[in-house]
Amino acid sequence: MTTRAFRMKLRPGAVDEYRRRHDELWPDLADTLRGAGIHDYSIFLDEETLHLFAVLKLRDGHSAESLPGLPVMQRWWDYMADLMETEPGNRPREWPLTPIFHLE
């Protein structure tokens, strides 16, 4: 199992809508993420900077690298693009985070 953490950034005024859309996460997207080996996925907000901090676990043998090519993922990115900083193709901009401490 691998743990992955990264940062994203919301646009001003987007917090409530971002939360609402995730509260109503599409079941087919959730199934796709789980099917790719993603579990224990959390996103945290720094309300001062509007930075989002995501942490997820990847099961051994995961296929998460295939997610960007899937239609459901592309539809989700298009749906979320007005709320956050994105790359071309509406993929959220991600900044990887380097682990420096862990306590089990």
What pTM does this model have? 0.92
Q: What is the reported pLDDT for 53?
A: 98
- Establish if 74 belongs to a structural domain: yes
Task: Give me the sign of the Cα torsion angle 42, 71, 83, 25.
Answer: negative
Q: What is the reported pLDDT for 50?
A: 98
**Mean pLDDT calculated for residue range 40-45:** 98
Query: What is the domain-level CATH number for residue 31?
Result: 3.30.70.100
Active site residue 62: no
- Establish if 101 belongs to a structural domain: no
Q: What is the reported pLDDT for 87?
A: 96
- Establish if 54 belongs to a structural domain: yes
- Establish if 104 belongs to a structural domain: no
Give me the domain span that covers residue 70: 2-96
Q: What is the pLDDT of residues 48-60, one digit of tens each?
A: 999 999 999 999 9
Give the DSSP per-residue string, 26-79.
Answer: -HHHHHHHHHTTEEEEEEEEETTTTEEEEEEEE-TT--GGGGGGSHHHHHHHHH
Number of domains in the chain: 1
Query: Which of 22, 39, 51, 102 is labelled catalytic?
Result: 22
CB within 8 Å of 48: residues ≥ 6 apart: none
- Establish if 72 belongs to a structural domain: yes
**Mean pLDDT calculated for residue range 17-33:** 98
